Chain A
Amino acid sequence: MKVVIMGCSRVGAQLAAMMDAEGHKVTVMDIDPFSFKKLPPAFNGTALVGNGLDEESLKKAEIGEADVFVAVTQGDNRNVMACQIAKHIYNVPKVVCRIYDPIREEMYRNLGLRTVSPTKLVAKLLRDQIEG
């Protein structure tokens, strides 16, 4: 699978390393080249400086050939917009979006994005630890 990941945060870097180790073709994008230091030395994929909302960077990431697009920057709005560009303009078959705000997460899920809201998940995990 060709996977394009927008945002080389801790989560982005971890995901990129994981997918790469599983043998997928991974491109990870971030506006800050310093963020690529989080990628492991064994990372075989492509690290690309660029903004996932920008046509030029998306083309450099060969988004047209991507099977999956994942947006995990710190900004919900940026993630949502990038995913919708990937889905509606570049027809990427599967787009996955991190959205911190649970209300927005529900709305965009209803609009056809695959969404993950860490806020809810982490709160639940913490509660389980407290009560367990």
Chain B
Amino acid sequence: MYIVIVGGGQVGYHLSKMLLNDGHEVLILEQDTARCDLLCEELGSVVVRGDGCEAATLESVGTARADMLVAVTDEDARNLVACQVARHRFNVRRTIARITNPNNEKIFKILGVDVTVCSTKLILAHIEQELPSHPIITLLKLKSGTLEVIEAKIPPDSKLIGKKLRAFSLPKGSAVLLIIGKEKGPQIPTPDTIIAAEDEVVAITEAENEEAIRAMLTGR
């Protein structure tokens, strides 16, 4: 696959390295001269100096034949425009954007960016999981965000401890997929599986039920 990457920062660099290792054709657009030189030294001649939001620059690197454009600069507006220009001027079929402000997910979706990855949200989710008051983390979004795979750690004071899984009243459209016990390790849950403190429960749920399932699994 031919993949154009806009932004040669840390994310752009590591992403390119990974894609090159997987055998893809990669091109990085980066505006900073010193950064371009560094990337060239590390990755070879896969770097062009230029603004990835500018149609002329994108044209010069053959964006029209790109299978995908990934915009990973540190500025949301820049990433949005790079994706829109790729899509509307060069008919790139798949565009992926990094965003830092979680509020921007909605506008990116409305404007047709295929995938957004919000670094702030991911970091928050990981930190949240370590906080006693927020034991849920979203692992994966499916069906363009309508379904979520979540992981919850059963707090030591949960009312659910010692109860069988069949006693749970899960919201509609939700299911427990996996239970990882502290000692027992991963188990496929059955209705008779008994919940223990600090079990990690992996479940699938509709996005709108996340709060309900959070309340239920923490069982306070």
Q: In the complex, are the beta carbons of A88 and B110 less than 8 A apart?
A: yes
B75 near A: Cβ within 8 Å?
yes
Within 8 A of A (CB), among B110-167: 110-111
Cβ-closest chain B residue relative to A108 = B84
Shortest CB distance B31–A (Å): 12
Q: Are B77 and A78 in contact (CB under 8 A)?
A: yes
A85 to B111, CA, bound (A): 10
Task: Tell me which residues across on chain B come within 8 A of A111, comparing CB atoms.
Answer: 84, 88
Inter-chain CA distance A107–B53, complex, in Å, is 12
Q: Which of A55, A81, A104, A110 contacts B76 (CB 8 A)?
A: A81
User: Are A77 and B88 closer than 8 Å at their CB atoms?
Assistant: no
DSSP class of B's interface residues: helix, strand, loop or mixed?
helix
Measured CA separation A77–B85 after assembly (Å): 11
Residues in B whose Cβ lies below 8 Å from that of A104? 53-55, 81, 85
* Interface residue? A68 (CB, 8 A): no
A89 to B103, CA, bound (A): 11
Given A84-B107, A84-B111, A89-B106, are A107 and B76 also a contact pair (CB < 8 Å)? no
Interface residues on A, range: 20 to 34
Contact of B81 among A53, A80, A88 (CB under 8 A): A80
- Contact residues in B for A81 (Cβ distance below 8 Å): 76-77, 80-81, 107
Of the four ranges (under 10, 10 to 19, 20 to 34, 35 or more), the interface on chain B belongs to: 20 to 34
Contact with B along A51-67 (1 / 0, CB 8 A): 00111000000000000
A53 touches B77 (CB 8 A): yes
Inter-chain CA distance A110–B107, complex, in Å, is: 18
CB distance from A23 to the nearest CB of B (A): 32
Contact B110 A80 (CB under 8 A): no
Whether, in the assembled complex, B34 has its beta carbon less than 8 Å from a beta carbon of chain A, the answer is no
Assembled-state Cα–Cα distance A88/B89 (Å): 21
Pick the residue among B77, B89, B110 that contacts A77 (CB under 8 A): B77
Bound CA–CA A31/B10 (angstroms): 27
What is the chain B residue whose CB lies nearest that of A55? B103
Chain B residues, CB < 8 A from A80: 77, 80-81, 84
Q: Could you tell me if B89 and A107 are in contact, using CB atoms closer than 8 angstroms?
A: yes
The 21 listed contacts between A and B (C-beta, < 8 Å) are A75-B77, A76-B53, A77-B75, A77-B77, A77-B78, A80-B77, A80-B81, A80-B84, A81-B77, A82-B77, A88-B107, A89-B107, A101-B53, A101-B54, A103-B56, A103-B89, A104-B55, A107-B55, A107-B85, A107-B88, A111-B84
- Top 4 closest A-B pairs, CB basis? A77-B77, A81-B77, A103-B55, A77-B81
